Structure 1
Amino acid sequence: MKLINVLVLCLGLYAQGQNSYEITGRVLSENQGLPYVSVYIRGSSLGTTTDDNGYFQLSNVAPGSHDIMVSFVGYKTIKKSVDISEDTKNLTFNMQYDDSLDEIVVTGTLKSVSRLESAVPVEVYSPAFFKKNPTPNIFDALQNVNGVRPQLNCNVCNTGDIHINGLEGPYTLVLIDGMPIVSGLSTVYGLSGIPNSLIEQVEIVKGPASSLYGSEAVGGLINIITKLPENAPIVFADTFVTGWGELNVDAGFKTNVGEKATMLFGTNYFTYNNKIDNNNDNFTDLTLQDRISIFNKWDFKREDNKKFSLAGRYFYEDRWGGELQWNKSFRGGDEVYGESIYTSRFELLGDYELPIDEKVNFQFSYSDHDQNSVYGNIPYLAQQRIGFGQFIWDKPLEKHDLLFGAALRYNYYNDNTTATLRPDEVTIPSLFVQDEIELSTKQNLLLGLRYDYDNRHGSIITPRVAYKYKPTGDDIIRVNAGTGFRVVNLFTEEHAALTGARDVIIEEALEPEQSYNVNINYLKKWYTKKGMIFTFDTSVWYTHFTNAIIPDYDTNPNQIIYDNLDGYSTSKGISLNLDALLATGIKGSIGATIQDVSQTENDVRTRQILTERFTGTWSLSYKHYPTNITVDYTGNLYGPMRLPLLGDLDPRQEFSPTWSIQNIQFTYDGFENFELYAGIKNLLNWTPNRGNPFIIARANDPFDENVEFDNDGNVLATQDNPFALTFDPSYVYGPNQGIRAFLGLRYSLN
């Protein structure tokens, strides 16, 4: 019987071989053979790549109807259905460039324009970029953007902000759909609650943008653009877990509500409740968190395609870090140290185009942020409310593209610190105008001016000029110059002022900071005959600050001193980016930034603390179409930065080492509507405790019960405290999380 089965099997295999076919053909682009293109039969393991002249051959193809897929990075994928009943030969596929490579941006000029045509250099990052290294929040997702660094500000509660070109987080304005809804207090905690699945793209402008966006857009801005409801999947979900026990879930759906409205609903949930102390200081290496964010966006159909969209978001987070034996019964006490933060905020934003002949939009936003925090036995109770509205009139004329705007911003801030004896409440009206002038077919000049009135500081005027020269269709030179200003709310921005034992000293009434910037940018795209696409983007910049407010950790190691700098500070550097779509199917990018950020006071020049000299980022992606597997390798590199020591006896390193975080991910998308992904984060298992005796000073005595002081308040070196230290968790420059695996699943129904 077994012999008969073997014979039947052999006959079947022989018959199958006799009834298999061969498919041959060629893939072209602009009448040139395109090499290394993936050609495969959908739903099977049969696949190949074209040769140097674009020819391909598929063998052992079973008879019947098949979908032949032709795919290559930088080009639109082609699907051709073929009914195979005899040898199929000489098929021809003509591939076209993917126009989506030329992104549409709005952040630089408040108008929707091609990135290549914008007079202001804007960097654009799509969801595909962030999927290469999945993260539970947009804060972590920015770690692979050149010149942008998520900076942790506390070893205990792990809060942070975003640095652009070496400038501190308060100089970065974060927008959602163009609205200044995340700023000050909410920047510190609010970046964690935007569901990644709802992001259409992220646009980044480096350098002052106060002429359009007002205060806080001094060092640059990040605009998080959410999906339009009609463009979102019907149902989507994305969830992953890590080896440390982190769980992140994104989910949502869209639906039509009646005939004139489309609604998009999304939610993000993140939880981590695993106490890990790999550096053995009895403090959690990563804060424990429970976070939920709910997002709802509506798009309404109106006559003449006039725009009306409305969105809202609610965010709640409960996070804590501290000694391993801490629980909520110790909250606010002085027995066991912990930093516990309850955050509740809601946001509303909208865009309404007026029903008139002219293109006039009314844009508005409102956010309400409530924070209940304790840092050991120090409470920090704060409320921040920001209301914003502006009219924008877009008026194109021959050779001129005009934009007029009138804005009103309401700021309310109150906390329980001595710095805020009464609520800080101010309404700031603004007017701005912008004109982009077409000098010739190759040259454009953009002029802008903004006027703000703050009753605390008077009138503030911020001009701007941008020049674009496009000698060829693939070369662009841009020169931008402008000013910026920032009105300071100290405790909404400086977490170090609230944690640890340092005293906060404010030596004078703080005046607004002013900045002057020039940026020169060159962008080049080129296409090879073998189907490779390269984009080279480089910028040099110089920013000069007056009235800069920089925390002084050096004058007295037991204090943080804040005042307006009696001098100036500068930020200057060069950045380079190279994106490549290679003929081998590899998609890669590499970026580098070299910068010098310093301050000069009384003719003494000092390098800014917690600012790296150089950074590097890279990503490599390759998809093997026959197996439906994509490999992503991402990483970053940071140069040394000066760190806040607690005195001459502090044994910790004054400068951080050069360090790198690297990740790898494998994604399988062979299932319909599903993607399965897995990988390893922090492949090098790097953590900042390497080479240091400890990271948190006096972790064994967080309430400084055994610290002795002299009559002037200086710490004395004793047998119990030989380095003359106080408890201080502000010596932080990188995450404490080591190597860890992750596993995730995505679902999308279009």
Structure 2
Amino acid sequence: MRVKILFLFILFSPSISVFAQQATIKGKVTSQGEPIEFVNVYVLGADKGAITDSEGEYLVKGIKPGKYLIKVSYVGYRTIEQRVELKGEDVTTLNFELESASIQGEEIVVTGTLKEITRAKSPVPVELYTPKFFKMNPTPSLYDAMQNVNGVRPQLNCNVCNTGDIHINGLEGPYTMILIDGMPIVSGLSTVYGLSGIPNSMIERIEIVKGPASSLYGSEAVGGLINVITKKPVNAPKFMAEGMATSWNEYNIDLGARFSKKDAFDVLTGVNVFNYSNTIDQNNDNFTDVTLQKRASIFQKWSFHRKENRLFSIALRALYEDRWGGEMDWNKSHRGGDEVYGESIYTKRWEVIGNYQLPTYEKLLFSFSYNSHDQDSYYGDLPYMAQQNIGFGQLTWDTEVDKHSLLVGAALRYTYYDDNTPATADSDNANLNNPDVVWLPGIFIQDDISVNEATNVLLGLRYDYNTVHGNIWTPRFAYKVSLNDKNILRLNAGTGFRVVNLFTEEHASLTGAREVVIEEELKPEQSYNVNLNYEHKIFGSEGFYAGIDGTIWYTYFTNQILPDYESNSNQIVYDNLEGHGVTQGAALNVNLEFENGFKVMGGASFIDVHTVEKDDSGVNRKTRPLLTERWTGTWAVTYPVKSLGLKIDYTGNVYGPMKLPVLNEQDPRPDTSPWWSIQNIQFTWNRSSSPFEVYAGVKNLLNFTPPANSIARSHDPFDKNVTFDGNGEPVATANNPHALTFDPSYVFAPNQGTRMFVGIRYEFR
């Protein structure tokens, strides 16, 4: 019992440190005279630091006397480094004035090159978002928060279970790789889980790269990357808590705490709990509008103090989720039965992520991750039991030679997958399972060449050997030139690849409504991409700043695998595309900042995704995939009322029409979605002297929801009253005049209408 109490105390207690005869530094961090919150103040060599409070003030205690380098950094501002000598029992006051990095381009990013580099110097365009951005429209998960990022869209794939994925530039979820601290711990089976259950208290920033990055990250990094960078424990608050509730009776709680042991380690622990247990059916189809969900996760990150500041950190995350959607009178006694329809999913998942810098003169870093995902699901009376384990290890050597910044690495990925479907059935005996085991070793090299102060050229090449598909090569090229301090041009080209496991990705195949048909042995997809990015900065009078970022891209796919919903209303047919696929388009982001704190961020994208394949007569036919918008836009407007301690945030998005999966030509549902928009407003109160922050607002101001008949034949989910012909096709009858079957895959937007929300944040430093 004492051991358990000690463990819980270590897990959740605020930092406890005992200091004697040691130095202290304190001070204030401002920009243009205004205090800045959440700035990292780190004492290099002492492994100690702090984060500024709402007054911009910080305090670092327990420092041994000596000479140190003080590093002051915050995303969006230029980093400051200052050397100082500290004496025992002294209290040294150091104040810092930061310059806006949105102007200077000094934000640190790592995703594009696997190395820490300022955003302005990175040859790869990287979009960066801080917790402050996501607080403008608080959500219970990062998955939902992605709706405010231009060109990134959370896509629901099922009206009943609300399974979803993340689209980047019109490409479906399996083309998006989710990483935590640079480690690819998320797979196709669980992409959405990579962005659910991460406590907000753990997040330092989100980095997004759009376009193939397989030369560094391997399979799945075809459409883009979302890298969740978690906080360094030494810089985190001692304790934080946030709670939010909505008028739909959704409840979300985030807790975070830091514990430190002098000269040994720092531990940051975060807990997230989400509960939604309110059955609502506003569209009167007798199905829950939103999946009911109970989720709990815990995330803990350890950072160990080592000689010469060498890195050693390890993080662990565990998640459990119980969610269901279905007919309003469903309960757990109906699970797996054929009387009352429900889709019930139990998920257990855990992950471990680590980084260890070898004790060598050369900078050698070993990174590793392992995740286990266990899913126990019933889709009506159809069971889906799946287990997936993925291990990943990578060793990199980072060195500088004259004008060359070299990164050389070797990686090994292991994937184990087993389920109760034909995907892992034994070819000789369907009653036996033959789990899918794939080894994917690879090596890569990257050379970032500084041609001169303004120009960088990046060359990269990766080789992977897949035990199923053989040799895979993925080269990359990047060119960056700073035309002057206000204009940057970047050109990127490269290839990507993806090894597909269908049953881990296509949840529409698990609704019990459609049969999966695989036409042939599938080959890995290949992509070839080029994109051009231009960044322009405008400096106006009286503190005005404008940033403009524009990108055009083109990606060509071979061996593309797309699900065919239209050939047969009872089937999903998979095949390698005999022609080719294309995604191309243009995106523009604009950021305006005024001296009084008024800010406007907006973005728009034009997206053209299509496939080209010969028809039976040999003529090339261009086809647009389902659920792909051509136009999308996002915005976020902030207006502060400083005299009242009030901040007003107005956020939203808009999406153009998408092609929808109707069942046949007689289906009365529209085959194209309308233009639609989700808009939100929030009011936040924070007095500078208070550790509390209170916010309230309204989500979905326009009360937009999809059509009420989105679920086909919701009154007959087991197709008991559907008549089929000899080919298995439904036949029109008096009670089924449109020859439909039950199908919940007709979905393009959330079913939640207007709802109010309120929340409170507390932080102890």
Change (3 A) 1:127 1:94: closer
* Equivalent residue number for residue 747 of structure 1: 762
Q: What does 1:184-333 correspond to in 2, within 5 Å?
A: 184-333=188-337
1:75, distance to aligned residue in structure 2 (A): 8.2
Cα distance per residue 1:540-581 (max 9 Å; x no partner): 000000000000112222211101001001000000000110
> Aligned-pair distance for 1:346?
0.5
Write the distance in 2 (CA, Å) between the matches of 1:294 and 1:553: 39
Which structure 2 residue ranges, 5 or more long, are not aligned? 1-29, 36-54, 58-74, 79-94, 426-433, 615-619
1:635 pairs with 2:655: no
Structure 2 counterpart of 1:19: none
User: Quick check: 570-579 or 580-589, which moved more?
Assistant: 580-589
1:445 is matched with which residue?
457
Q: How do residues 636-675 of structure 1 correspond to structure 2 at under 5 angstroms?
A: 636-670=653-687, 672-675=690-693
1:403-457 superposed Cα distances (whole Å, 9 cap, x missing partner) = 0000011000010001221101011110000001111221110000000001211
Cα distance in 2 for partners of 1:263, 1:68 equals 24
1:258 to partner: Cα distance: 4.1
- 1:188–1:493: 8 Å Cα contact kept in structure 2? no
TM-score by length of 2: 0.85
Task: Using the TM superposition, give the Cα deviation of residue 98 of structure 1 relative to its aligned residue in structure 2, in angstroms.
Answer: 3.2
**Of residues 729, 736, 746 in structure 1, which corresponds to 2:744?**
729
Secondary structure of 2:670's aligned partner: coil
Which residue identity does 2:705 align to in structure 1?
T
Q: Residue 398 of structure 1 aligns with which residue?
A: 402
2:178 to 174, 191, 202: 174
CA–CA separation in structure 1 for the residues paired with 2:522 and 2:201? 40
- Tell me the CA shift for residue 674 of structure 1: 0.7
Do 1:464 and 1:482's aligned partners in 2 also have CA atoms closer than 8 Å? Answer: yes
Whether 2:688 is the aligned partner of 1:695: answer no
1:259 partner letter: D
Distance 1:126 1:276 in 2: 34
Task: Determine the structure 2 residue equivalent to 1:97.
Answer: 99
1:649 is displaced (CA, Å) by: 0.5
- Contact (CA 8 Å) 2:76, 2:106: kept in 1 or not? no
Per-residue CA distance 1:84-129 (angstroms, 9 max, x = gap):
xxxxxxxxx9975234763100000000000111000000000000
Instruction: Kindly provide the amino acid, as one letter, of the partner of residue 610 in structure 1.
Output: L
Distance 1:38 1:168, change over 3 A: same
Residue 112 of structure 2 is aligned to residue 108 of structure 1: yes
The answer as to whether partners of 1:38 and 1:625 remain within 8 angstroms in 2 is no
Question: Residues 560 and 581 of structure 2 are in contact (CA less than 8 Å); yes or no, is this contact kept in structure 1?
Answer: yes
What corresponds to 2:60 in structure 1? none
**Distance apart, 1:527 and its partner CA:** 1.7
SS in 1 for 2:526: strand
Aligned to 1:61: none
Q: SS in structure 1 opposite 2:422?
A: coil
1:626 to 643, 646, 671: 643
The residue identity in structure 1 corresponding to 2:541 is K
One-letter identity of the residue aligned with 2:690: E
Provide the C-alpha distance between the structure 1 equivalents of 2:424 and 2:490, rounded to a whole number of angstroms: 43
**What is the rounded CA distance, in whole Å, between the counterparts of 2:98 and 2:416 in structure 1?**
53
Pick closer, same or farther for the CA change 1:145–1:296 going to 2, 3 Å: same
Aligned to 1:418: 422
Give 1:577-596 correspondences, 5 Å limit: 577-596=589-608
1:108-162 CA-to-partner distances (Å, cap 9, x unmatched) read: 0000000111000000000000000000001001000000000000000111000
Match of 1:338 in 2: 342
Superposition pairs for residues 26-105 of structure 1, below 5 Å? Answer: 97-99=99-101, 102-105=106-109
CA separation in 2, counterparts of 1:162 and 1:726? Answer: 28
Q: In the alignment, which of 713, 731, 745 is matched to residue 716 of structure 1?
A: 731
1:75·1:95 contact (CA, 8 Å) conserved in 2? no
What amino acid sits opposite 1:593 in the alignment?
A: S
Q: Do the aligned residues in 2 keep the contact of 1:504 with 1:559 (CA within 8 Å)?
A: yes
Q: What is the rounded CA distance, in whole Å, between the counterparts of 1:68 and 1:673 in structure 2? A: 13
Give, in whole Å, the separation in 1 of the partners of 2:555 and 2:194: 28
Alignment match, 1:42 = none
User: CA 1:527–1:548 in 2, change beyond 3 Å: closer, same or farther?
Assistant: same
Counterpart in the other structure of 1:15: none
Alignment RMSD: 1.9
Indicate the residue corresponding to 1:612 in structure 2. Answer: 629
Report the Cα distance in structure 1 between the residues aligned to 2:507 and 2:537, rounded to whole angstroms: 42
Which amino acid in 2 is paired with 1:579? Answer: N
CA displacement at 1:614 relative to structure 2: 0.5
TM-score (norm: length of structure 1): 0.87
Q: 2-side partners of 1:441 and 1:120: how far apart? A: 17
Asked whether the 8 Å contact 2:481–2:490 carries over to 1, the reply is yes
For 1:637 and 1:259, how far apart are their aligned partners in 2? 51
| Structure 2 letter corresponding to 1:681 | K
Query: Take 1:591 and 1:478, find their aligned partners in 2: how far apart are those partners?
Result: 19
What 5-or-longer segments of structure 1 have no aligned partner?
Answer: 1-28, 40-66, 77-92
Distance 2:654 2:56 in 1: 41
Question: Which one of the candidate residues 681, 693, 701 is aligned to 2:699?
Answer: 681
2:661 aligned counterpart, secondary structure: coil
Summarize the alignment of residues 454-603 of structure 1 with structure 2, pairs less than 5 Å apart.
Answer: 454-602=466-614, 603=620
Distance 1:618 1:68, change over 3 A: closer
CA contact (8 A) 1:159 1:189 kept: no
Shift of 1:188: 3.7
1:55-100 per-position Cα deviation (integer Å, ceiling 9, x unaligned): xxxxxxxxxxxx999xxx9889xxxxxxxxxxxxxxxx99752347
Output the CA distance in 1 between the equivalents of 2:604 and 2:217: 28
| Regions of 4+ moved over 4 Å | 73-76, 93-96
Check conservation: 2:111, 2:182, Cα contact below 8 A.
yes
1:372 aligns with 2:376: yes
CA shift, 1:526, in A, is 2.3
SS in 2 for 1:555: coil
Q: Could you tell me whether the CA contact under 8 Å between 1:500 and 1:729 is conserved in 2?
A: no
Where 1:280 maps in the other structure, the secondary structure is: coil
CA distance in 2, matches of 1:230, 1:589: 32
SS of the aligned residue for 1:652 comes to: coil
Contact 1:500–1:730, Cα closer than 8 Å, also in 2: no
The answer (yes or no) to whether the contact 1:199–1:227 under 8 Å persists in 2 is: yes
2:160 maps to a residue whose letter is: V
- Match of residue 83 from structure 2: none
Report whether the alignment pairs 1:706 with 2:721.
yes
Q: Give the structure 2 partner of residue 90 of structure 1.
A: none
Partners of 2:600 and 2:545 in 1: CA distance: 11
State the shift of 1:397 in Å.
1.3
Answer yes or no: is the 8 Å Cα contact 1:308–1:350 preserved in 2. Answer: yes
* Residue in 2 that maps onto 1:87: none
Instruction: Report the Cα distance in structure 1 between the residues aligned to 2:631 and 2:360, rounded to whole angstroms.
Output: 51
Give 3-state SS (helix, strand or coil) of 2:267's partner.
Answer: strand
CA distance in 2, matches of 1:107, 1:393: 16
What is the CA–CA distance in structure 2 between the aligned matches of 1:517 and 1:154, rounded to whole Å? Answer: 30
Structure 1 counterpart of 2:354, from 334, 347, 350: 350
Tell me how far apart the structure 2 counterparts of residues 168 and 289 of structure 1 sit (CA, whole Å): 24
Residues in 2 aligned to 1:94 and 1:532: alpha-carbon distance in whole angstroms: 22
How many residue pairs match? The answer is 668
Structure 2 counterpart SS, 1:571: strand
Q: Which moved more, 1:662-671 or 1:334-343?
A: 662-671
CA contact (8 A) 1:674 1:748 kept: yes
